[in-house]
Amino acid sequence: MEAFTTHTGRAVPLRRSNVDTDQIIPAHWLKKVTRDGFEDGLFEAWRKQPDFVLNQEAYQGATVLVAGPDFGTGSSREHAVWALQNYGFKAVISSRFADIFRGNSLKNGLLTVVLPQETVEALQQLAEADPAAEVTVDLVNREVRAEGVKAGFELDENARWRLLEGLDDISLTLREEEAIAAYEAKRPAFKPQTVVA
């Protein structure tokens, strides 16, 4: 996993609330069996509308998505995170994320930043007024900075450390072999098995 320390890039204002994972990446894209190549499916339905924000020339190459509240609701598809990353987004800012989406994003190195709605609004206005304006998402100092905006954000220490170090979950857990084996040894005999091992 790529480490995330601080990122500066242009922002895309997505003025929609309750953007569910079906909108982020429609179900028919889930049929792929690889982890890449999802960029064309990102917000597929909306991208067919010429006036959709991602279709505007000025926002090409932007890397920070500033979305309305309740971003990432709906099904648990991790493809939503991959689609955002494949498209080039490094961070998503919203006043509220759905739990599963947030968990998925942090595990994949896409930083999801929760800021108060007023701050999100201010960033959206900034990006609308000046699509070339840059936004800095600084995980080291837990701060988002842009012209006229300086806002701290929270992220639990463990998730932050792993993002900063670029550590994936499995390698960390495999260090706990002894504890896992000890737990397995004391599991009751009545616990279900799918096959006899």
Partner 1 sequence: MGRTLAEKVWDDHVVKRVEGEPDLLFIDLHLLHEVTSPQAFDGLRKAGRTVRRTDLTLATEDHNTPTLDIDKPIADPVSRTQLETLRKNCADFGVRLHPLGDVEQGVVHVVGPQLGLTQPGTTVVCGDSHTSTHGAFGALAFGIGTSQVEHVLATQTLPLSPFRTMAVTVEGELPDGVTAKDLILAIIAKIGTGGGQGYVIEYRGSAIEKLSMEARMTICNMSIEAGARAGMIAPDQTTFDYLEGRDHAPKGADWDAAVEYWKTLRTDDDAVFDHEVVINASELAPFVTWGTNPGQGAPLSERVPDPASYEDASERYAAEKALEYMGLTAGQPLRDIKVDTVFVGSCTNGRIEDLRSAASILDGRKVADGVRMLIVPGSVRVALQAVEEGLDKVFTAAGAEWRHAGCSMCLGMNPDQLAPGERSASTSNRNFEGRQGKGGRTHLVSPQVAAATAVLGHLASPADLSDAAVPAPAGV
The residues of the shown chain that bind partner 1, judged by CB under 8 A, are 17-18, 20, 22-23, 26-28, 30-35, 45, 68-70, 73-79, 81, 96, 98-100, 103-104, 107-108, 156-158, 168-170, 172-174, 176, 179-180, 182-184, 187-197
Angle in degrees, 0-180, between the axes of helices 79-87 and 99-107, rounded to the nearest 10: 50
Q: Which residues contact 40 (CB under 8 A, 6 or more apart)?
A: none
CB of 129 or CB of 180, closer to partner 1: 180
| Angle formed at CA 165 by CA 177 and CA 124, multiple of 5 degrees | 130
CB of 9 or CB of 46, closer to partner 1: 46
| Least distance between partner 1 and beta carbon 137 (Å) | 21
| Least distance between partner 1 and beta carbon 72 (Å) | 11
| Least distance between partner 1 and beta carbon 191 (Å) | 6
Contact 123, 105 (CB under 8 A): no
CB of 6 or CB of 75, closer to partner 1: 75
CB of 24 or CB of 151, closer to partner 1: 24
| Least distance between partner 1 and beta carbon 96 (Å) | 7
| Least distance between partner 1 and beta carbon 133 (Å) | 25
φ, ψ (nearest 5 deg) of residue 65: -100, 125
Q: Which residues contact 102 (CB under 8 A, 6 or more apart)?
A: 72, 112
Start-to-end C-alpha separation, the chain: 33
